[in-house]
């Protein structure tokens, strides 16, 4: 029996949504660079291109263009492009990521033992170097904090605290209060692992 890949199905739906969208309006909306074949965006500090006839996404690396069609990448990029509001704007006020969701979502980001936080606890300079490579700006309120641009001025703020005898090292994530003008709450959970993967890669 053939088993359907629900992630692949949802990613293809997102691509189809993009392909049915007026691409000229997207270019105007975000002031995108474009040619006959591709739209170009900067996503988490890295140049991406979107094929205008297929919706396939690739990202620029030191060795050329690499595939960027993972579920998280496709859903996040097309949510930002196609479903962000025309009147979107930042408030300048920050809100913990878990507070955007319903009450039962708060347990998703509880202070459990976090392997990524443990990596940065062992080597905090790794976090500094990665954030600086992304030209992230310092963010107050923790041992180490940076605000990292995702796309179109929308930032994810990362706060890190070292561990001690009583507490595990901890990461906390914040978005602008108006972030849902740019991205759905559910999509925040697709964007977050992309940011962490990018930091670890850098």
**pLDDT reported for residue 1:** 42
The predicted model scores a pTM of 0.89
pLDDT in tens, the chain (202 residues): 444 578 889 999 999 999 999 999 999 999 999 999 999 999 999 999 999 999 999 999 999 999 999 999 999 999 999 999 999 999 999 999 988 875 445 555 545 678 999 999 999 999 999 999 999 999 999 999 999 999 999 999 999 999 888 889 999 999 999 999 999 999 999 999 999 999 999 8
**pLDDT reported for residue 112:** 64
Alpha-helical runs (H) found in 21-140:
23-30, 71-83, 115-122, 124-133
C-alpha distances in Å from residue 106, one per residue of 82, 109, 178: 28, 6, 19
């Amino acid at each position: 029996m053939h088993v359907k890949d629900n992630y692949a199905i949802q990613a293809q739906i997102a691509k189809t949504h993009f392909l049915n969208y007026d691409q000229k309006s997207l270019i105007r909306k975000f002031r995108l660079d474009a040619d006959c074949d591709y739209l170009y965006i900067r996503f988490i500090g890295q140049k991406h291109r979107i094929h205008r006839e297929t919706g396939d996404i690739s990202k620029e690396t030191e060795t050329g263009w690499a595939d960027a069609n993972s579920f998280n990448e496709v859903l996040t990029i097309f949510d930002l492009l196609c479903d962000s509001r025309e009147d979107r704007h930042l408030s300048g006020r920050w809100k913990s990521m878990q507070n955007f969701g319903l009450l039962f979502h708060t347990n998703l980001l509880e202070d459990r033992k976090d392997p990524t936080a443990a990596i940065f606890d062992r080597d905090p300079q790794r976090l500094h170097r990665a954030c600086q490579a992304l030209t992230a700006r310092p963010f107050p309120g923790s041992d180490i904090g940076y605000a990292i641009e995702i796309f179109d001025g929308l930032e994810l703020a990362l706060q890190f605290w070292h561990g001690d005898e009583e507490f595990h090292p901890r990461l906390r994530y914040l978005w602008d209060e108006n972030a849902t003008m740019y991205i759905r709450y559910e999509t925040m959970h697709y964007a977050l692992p992309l940011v962490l993967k990018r930091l670890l890669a850098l």
